[in-house]
Structure 1
Amino acid sequence: MIKFMFKCFVLCSVLLFGVLIGMQQANQGMIKMKGYNDPDLQGAFQVENDSGDVAASILGNEVTSQDLEKKQEQLEQIEAFNFFSQIGKQLAGIVSNGVSTILDMVTNWLSGLLE
């Protein structure tokens, strides 16, 4: 099982890396097709080192630790209470209990007929 998970992880990593390389190659092809270097046309994945600070951008969107913290806080607030999720859980419980009750009644009725 561990070998399988390791193989899946390696395969997914290789495929992700291949997608990023393909996007970078497509970007270089677009630059060659245009015939000049357009500063608006950026690479798929860029890492810049500005005076000791490392900044990453994916598809032109800057990725910073503050952005990740804000998104984490938003996810925590969203997961705090979700009205539709609560209704869905209650509906699932009602349906599950109803089906169990109906099955118990049918099995009791069938066992009564077979005796």
Structure 2
Amino acid sequence: MFRFLLKTMLLISILFIGVIIGFQEANHGLKEMKGFDDGTFSSVISVQEAEDYGEYEATILGEKVTSHDLEEKKKALEELNTYNLFTDMAKTFTDFLQKMISSLFS
């Protein structure tokens, strides 16, 4: 099982890297086709070290990504309060199992 998961994760990471390289090559092809370097065609992924020591700035598809943005998105997703049937079923099932096991031991 461990070998299967290892192979699967390796394959997924190789395919992901291939997609990123494909984006970069398409960007390079657009620049060559245009004939000059246009500022609207930025690189797909760029990582630069910030002024603060140890922090990095990442740009993905022309948009800056920071950890602060990720925290805001996480909070927004938590505030949506969407109903998920499978989550509710899983919670009910685990509560049932916990009560059953606790009653068996007591």
TM (norm. structure 1) is 0.66
Partner-residue secondary structure (3-state), 1:55: strand
In structure 1, how many angstroms separate the alpha carbons of the residues matched to 2:63 and 2:24? 15
Matches within 5 A, 1:49-68: 49-51=49-51, 52=53, 53-68=55-70
In structure 2, how many angstroms separate the alpha carbons of the residues matched to 1:7 and 1:43? 30
Unaligned runs of 5+ in 2: 90-106
Matches within 5 A, 1:26-105: 26-51=26-51, 52=53, 53-79=55-81, 82=82, 85=83
Aligned residues: 85
Equivalent residue number for residue 19 of structure 1: 19
Equivalent residue number for residue 6 of structure 1: 6
In structure 1, how many angstroms separate the alpha carbons of the residues matched to 2:63 and 2:11? 26
Higher helix share: 1
In structure 2, how many angstroms separate the alpha carbons of the residues matched to 1:59 and 1:47? 12
What is the RMSD computed on CA atoms of the aligned residues?
Answer: 2.0
Q: Which amino acid aligns with 1:15?
A: L
Higher mean C-alpha displacement, 53-62 vs 15-24: 53-62
- Shift of residue 77, structure 1, vs aligned partner: 1.1
TM (norm. structure 2) is 0.72
- Shift of residue 32, structure 1, vs aligned partner: 0.8
- Shift of residue 39, structure 1, vs aligned partner: 1.1
1:70-110 CA distance string (max 9 Å, x none): 0111111113xx3xx37x68xx9xxxxxxxxxxxxxxxxxx
Equivalent residue number for residue 113 of structure 1: none
